[in-house]
């Protein structure tokens, strides 16, 4: 019998409460603060986040404008995360850091969404970051950190010379890298294992290429040395101090192998250190610290070096910092370009992807609607 009664809408479709939580956390806002932005109570926002109420489209548009996300973002759940999430090495702890860490967690999850979307269509290189061949116990000795750094170089077929591009090296060996604003000058970079793949995020605020390279090597150390450190362990200042010291030691040993630096560090003149910086793409201060660590400089010489650097006002900004180019992650951008060249993927890649072009540019560092079709590097790395 015909009826004029329309069926009820599908309650499983439409607004996704979790997306509102993510958008709010990414902006480091409370429910009350979001409520004030769109003219509702914090309790109403809580109802929307829990799914007890569903906002109409006019309210979704208000959320979109207030939180800087496309309307479609709130209507698509994205892929389910079924893998494991390792410790996130944020280097910011304490109650005041909670919102910052939540914001970084959300953006890391979005980065995983982008890479997972692309991995369904582009063959990503298998992660090739090997764990150390020794057990850390309560920490590593300097000699053990040195061994793991050299073990990693040998595993990747590197000699004892300078690393031309630290970011490209990590991407070649299966790490997902991105560079975005951390929202705090207390965090330079962070890393985590997600679903068996290493992720490294570098801060966009650091304008020194050599310091950023050191950050990348530092995060590589966490991924290799500290897989047994839990999120709860990081609440301990003693543990944080230990793993940060070990990560710095690894970064120095990985970027500046002992045998090479001992043969090249034959002068303490600042001009010589500047030349070493140009060759190794490591800061003069890191080179001097590493030289002290391996016995090429004694403590008095190191103190004198610091005094000279301070007198020239080179502590925060060294020579060559404005010359050596920043190393930018490129694998995700080129993967997107490769996907976009395939006719059957153009719609999905350029107009239908749920995160929206603004978010992709914010998190992954490229604008998906303006990519070139040159993806030869991805083809080479993905083989």
For residue range 223-275, what is the model confidence (pLDDT) as tens digits?
999 988 888 888 899 999 999 999 999 999 999 999 999 999 999 999 999 99
Best CA proximity match to 118, nearest among 377, 380, 364: 364
What residue has token string 């679903």?
Answer: 195
For residue range 112-139, what is the model confidence (pLDDT) as tens digits?
999 998 998 889 999 999 877 776 667 8
pLDDT of residue 92: 53
Q: Are 337 and 374 in contact (CB under 8 A)?
A: yes
pTM for the model? 0.89
Distance from CA of residue 144 to its chain's centroid? 26
Q: Which residues contact 125 (CB under 8 A, 6 or more apart)?
A: 171, 172, 173, 174, 381, 382
Residue 7 is given by DSSP the state P
Residue 304: pLDDT band with limits 50, 70, 90:
very high
Lowest mean pLDDT of 9-13, 111-115, 354-358, name the range: 9-13
Quick check: 10 pLDDT over 50? no
CATH of 9-77, one of 3.30.420.40, 3.40.50.720, 1.10.10.60, 1.10.260.40: 1.10.260.40
∠ CA(96), CA(102), CA(104), 5° rounding? Answer: 110
Determine what percent of the chain falls in helix, strand and coil, rounding each to the nearest 5. 55, 5, 40
Q: Which residues pair with 202 in a beta bridge?
A: 179, 189
Q: Domain extents for the chain?
A: 9-77, 80-255+325-383
């Amino acid at each position: 019998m015909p009826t004029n009664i329309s069926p009820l809408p599908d309650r499983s479709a439409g607004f996704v409460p979790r997306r509102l939580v993510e958008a709010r956390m990414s902006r480091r806002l409370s429910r009350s603060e979001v409520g004030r932005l769109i003219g509702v109570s914090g309790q109403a926002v809580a109802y929307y986040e829990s799914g007890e109420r569903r906002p109409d489209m006019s309210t979704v548009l208000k959320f979109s404008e207030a939180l800087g996300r496309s309307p479609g973002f709130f209507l698509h759940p994205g892929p389910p995360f079924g893998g494991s999430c390792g410790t996130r090495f944020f280097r910011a702890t304490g109650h005041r850091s909670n919102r910052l860490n939540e914001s970084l967690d959300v953006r890391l999850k979005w980065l995983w969404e982008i890479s997972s979307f692309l991995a369904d269509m582009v063959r990503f290189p298998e992660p090739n970051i090997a764990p150390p061949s020794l057990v850390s116990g309560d920490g590593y000795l300097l000699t053990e950190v040195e061994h793991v750094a050299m073990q990693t170089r040998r595993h990747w077929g590197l000699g004892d010379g300078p690393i031309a591009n630290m970011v490209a090296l990590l991407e070649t060996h299966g790490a997902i890298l991105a560079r975005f604003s951390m929202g705090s000058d207390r965090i330079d970079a962070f890393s985590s294992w997600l679903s068996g793949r290493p992720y490294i995020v570098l801060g966009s605020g650091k304008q020194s290429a050599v310091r950023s390279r050191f950050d990348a090597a530092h995060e590589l150390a966490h991924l290799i040395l500290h897989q047994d450190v839990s999120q709860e362990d990081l609440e301990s200042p003693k543990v944080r101090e230990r793993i940060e010291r070990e990560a710095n030691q690894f970064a120095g040993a990985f970027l500046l192998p002992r045998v090479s630096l001992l043969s090249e560090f034959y002068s303490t003149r600042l001009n010589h250190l500047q030349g070493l910086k140009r060759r190794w793409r490591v800061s003069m201060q890191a080179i001097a610290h590493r030289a002290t660590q391996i016995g090429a400089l004694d403590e008095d010489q190191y103190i004198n070096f610091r005094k000279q650097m301070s007198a020239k006002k080179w502590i925060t900004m060294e020579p060559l910092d404005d010359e050596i180019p920043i190393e930018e992650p490129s694998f995700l951008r080129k993967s997107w370009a490769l996907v976009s060249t395939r006719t059957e993927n153009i719609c999905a890649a350029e107009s239908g992807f749920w995160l929206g072009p603004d978010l992709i540019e914010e998190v992954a560092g490229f604008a998906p609607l303006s990519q070139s079709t040159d993806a030869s590097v991805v083809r080479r790395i993905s083989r």
